[in-house]
Chains A and B, each alone.
Chain A
């Protein structure tokens, strides 16, 4: 009698279509849809490049070195992330937290280097009409000419790399919540204040910093409504997101930076 009652509940005995738990399948489905977002942006960049005469190749060796170090940061963060997942499945809570923090550190390094590069490019004249004017940079520069003659370059460059930087930022916040839970909210608020007050008003990061405030509010609501200790499955799902961010950069780096490197003969 008891057995027949149990058999009537399909959720207990119904096999999983993909042989794994729902959270992981949900994350994979999200990543597939997100890959199409980045696919569309990469195609837009490539389309613009092919169809526009005189596409610039403005990246000097300093930019290429900077982007290479950023790539190394992301690849290393993927290694530390996989070690965090490994620690979590072995029940090593301390190791899990340390590797997650190491991953966040590498991710933050990537964001800082990318932010610095953006600031340099904007200061040299590569800009979008929506960005505030940088005071004292009225003289014509190579990048200013690029912005005027091939506006598609700045639009696709900032659109593509900005979307990726947003994903990395959200990834660091996601890992921070998994690693530190409620303790991460005040850290996030401090980071928001530092980013907001520490950047000049003409920098796009002065306004972009509010992403951290919005994230702090959203994470606060989630942690207040559903407080929980994150287990190995949560760490693995967070890891899938993080590796995806790394994966996307493996296409942005050669297509946007290496193919637009300035080669001096």
Chain B
């Protein structure tokens, strides 16, 4: 590793030295609790659409906690946060636009 890379790696390590352990245990606990809520909701005889919305909502919250705290994206420079997240979310939105109207159309027409 050259000098500049070592300096950048050391700066990242220095930032992480200030993170307390307790925060990670709180995040872990929150993730477990949300998983338990998801399993509980599964057996509550909800409408599939409503259940899917809630489950996906909880999944996005869990994903945000993992990316933000465990993957340390919260502590990166804002350019990195915005470029990485906007690019992947943009691609997923494009996939949604391409796939789902067609899937619903097949359902509406009936499967032969």
Contacts and interface: CB of A to CB of B under 8 A. Distances in A.
Interface of A: 11-14, 16-25, 28, 32, 35-36, 39-40, 43, 46-47, 50-53, 64, 68, 71-72, 75-76, 78-79, 81-83, 85-86, 88-90, 231-233, 236, 239-240, 243-244, 246-247, 250-251, 253-255, 258-259, 261, 263, 265
A11 B35 CA distance: 46
28 contacts: A16-B8, A18-B76, A19-B79, A19-B80, A20-B77, A21-B9, A25-B80, A28-B84, A43-B96, A47-B99, A47-B100, A64-B42, A68-B39, A71-B35, A72-B35, A82-B69, A89-B17, A232-B13, A233-B9, A236-B13, A243-B66, A243-B67, A243-B70, A251-B59, A251-B63, A254-B38, A258-B55, A259-B48
Given A236-B13, A258-B38, 11 more contacts: A11-B4, A17-B79, A20-B76, A28-B80, A36-B88, A78-B28, A78-B66, A79-B25, A88-B13, A233-B13, A246-B66
A254 B28 contact: no
A50 B91 CA distance: 21
Contact of B32 (A13, A72, A261): A72
B88 to A, nearest CB: 5
Contacts of A255: 55-56
A231 B9 contact: yes
B76 A247 contact: no
B47 interface: no
Contacts of A86: 16, 19, 21, 24
Contact of A83 (B24, B42, B91): B24
A13 to B, nearest CB: 8
B111 A52 contact: yes
The secondary structure that dominates the A interface is: helix
A189 B102 CA distance: 47
B103 A254 contact: no
B56 A263 contact: no
A36 B55 contact: no
Interface in B61-112: 62-63, 66-67, 69-72, 76-77, 79-80, 83-84, 87-88, 91-92, 95-96, 99-100, 102-104, 106-107, 110-111
Contacts of A52: 111
Contacts of B95: 39-40, 43
A88 B16 CA distance: 10
Interface residues of B, number: 62
Given A19-B79, A231-B9, A263-B43, A82 B67 contact: no
Contacts of A244: 71
Contacts of B5: 21-23
B12 A32 contact: no
Contacts of B25: 79
B87 to A, nearest CB: 6
Contacts of A259: 48, 51-52, 55
A89 B13 contact: yes
Residue from B35, B48, B91, B110 having most chain A Cβ neighbours under 10 A: B35
Interface string B1-40: 1111100110011101101010011001001100100110
Contacts of A247: 63, 66-67, 71
A12 B45 CA distance: 62
Contact of B66 (A50, A90, A250): A250
Contacts of A32: 84, 87-88
A16 B7 CA distance: 11
